[in-house]
Amino acid sequence: MDLYAIDVSKWQGAVDWAAVKNARVTHAMLRAGYGAGTVDPQFKRNVANCELHGIHWGCYWYSYAASPAEARQEARACLDVIKGLRPTMPVAYDIEYEPCILALDNDTRTEMVQAFLGEIEAAGYYGILYASRDFIANRLNWRALAQYDVWCAQYSAACTCPLPYGMWQYSSANALGIPGFGKSLDCNRVYKDYPQIIRNAGLNGWAETSTTPEPEPEPEPEPADPPVAAQLQTLCILDAGGDIVAKAQALGLPVHAVQGYEIGPASSGDAMTLWGMAQAAGKPYYASYTEE
């Protein structure tokens, strides 16, 4: 099944998330903030509404960093904003064509990606690089970034990113036709089951609900038969199989070979167990009753 995501920020205003869900969009990437620590004013509302409507969300931080140290500072600002939240999609470093970034060389830009995503991953979150296909191929040493997942932007019929990618931003013109956005909305294809990956790995605050199985509770002991008069039953099971005899012996019941197997006296519960086995095996049986 095809999975789609939109990505939004304050520039999309107060998103009608019910309309997004009705358009069968199940994932979203939300701008958490940008630069040294500016929070997107729509972020908290977008998070609350995604969770209200059952939309998996992640976030991205738009970079204005001019050094690895500044990129690391941006990552810490992003972590402060999402502290206490549990996104089920990645946390992205959004590096684009800002003049302060274009003034740098490929080595420095690559180190910035490593600095930001290193901080994100060290804090226990699933990090991902967002950039255009051109930026990845020509403005980064992309071979040095193969350890990271990629969210690639390329508005064309196919994505030709030189790195493996988990998401592809394939349109900025509302290709999904979601009402209220006109011809301006980023649309993405999602190729990985990020919610399952993140939860299974205990990332993004999901450690306490990872898939480590809980130990099975000890079974409660069977209550002892009350010391009152009980009806005992002696069963005669014709042509009883070895499993029925073995079960009777395991229950501590007398077993005699007389025109078939005579078993008992037995309590009602044990007798019912043996009746069931005899019925399932198609073995004729009858019972006599005594009081004790």
pLDDT, tens only, 154-195:
999 999 999 999 999 999 999 999 999 999 999 999 999 999
pTM for the full model?
0.71
Mean pLDDT of the chain: 87
Rounded distance between C-alpha atoms, residue 229 and residue 257, angstroms: 28
Residue 285 β-bridge partners: 237
3-state secondary structure of 178: coil
Burial 63-95 (b: 16+ CB within 10 A, else e): bbbbebebbbbbbebbbebbeeebbbbbbbbbb
Averaged pLDDT, 78-98: 98
- What does the pLDDT average to over 201-219? 67
Give per-residue pLDDT as tens, 249-286. 777 777 766 556 666 676 666 766 766 777 777 776 65
**Residue 228 has what pLDDT?**
40
Delineate the domains of the chain, giving CATH numbers in brackets.
3-209 (3.20.20.80), 231-291 (3.30.70)
pLDDT at 131: 98
Overall average pLDDT of the 212-234 stretch: 50
Mean pLDDT, to the nearest integer, of 221-241? Answer: 54
pLDDT of residue 247: 76
Q: Is the pLDDT of residue 210 over 60?
A: no
In this prediction, residues 32-57 reach a mean pLDDT of 97
Tokens of 225: 């038969």
